Amino acid sequence: MTFDPRNFRDALGSFATGVTIVTGRNRDNVPVGATVSSFNSVSLDPPLVLFSLDQNSETLGPLKETGQCLINVLAEGQEDLSSKFAKSGAISWEGVDFQTWDTGCPVLLGSLANFECTVFATHPGGDHEIFVAQVKRYKTNGEGRPLLFHGGRYGRLAD
């Protein structure tokens, strides 16, 4: 079988996922962030989650250097925020509503859930780096519906 990268990506897109934005800070305390759909739970004891970042992501280096990150689970209606952080290059934080907790990583307001973490381990994963992160603090909104991504488009849960 010939592996066509675009066709392979389209095939992977048949799996619906939630959408997150992983945030952090660089050594100069400047916020960084990237849209990530590769997020899931790993362990309850200790509380571990995982996600992956493209090797070219400007967020990768700061997370590895500081060892801290925050995962924001996006809600319906946050498509613009997701699209903004999905672009490569420096992200403008102008107009982005956030607060900070202990690590100083941005907690995006309006998210369904937020997980403040320390990096537990990283692993090479081809053109991505896989992060296993230990949750130190979390919050759930308790209300709302998740932002979904499927087939290269945002979607919504049906009633």
CATH number of the domain residue 67 falls in: 2.30.110.10
Is residue 92 one of the residues assigned to a domain? yes
**Which helix (H) or strand (E) is 47 found in, with range?**
strand 47-54
Number of domains present in the structure of the chain: 1
Is residue 159 one of the residues assigned to a domain? no
Is residue 105 one of the residues assigned to a domain? yes
Q: For residue 62, give its domain range.
A: 19-147
**Are the beta carbons of 39 and 20 closer than 8 angstroms?**
yes
What does the pLDDT profile of the chain (159 residues) look like in tens digits?
Answer: 788 888 988 888 888 899 999 999 999 999 999 999 999 999 999 999 999 999 999 999 999 999 999 999 999 999 999 999 998 877 889 999 999 999 999 999 999 999 999 999 999 999 999 999 999 999 998 789 999 999 999 998 887
CA distance 122 to 64: 8
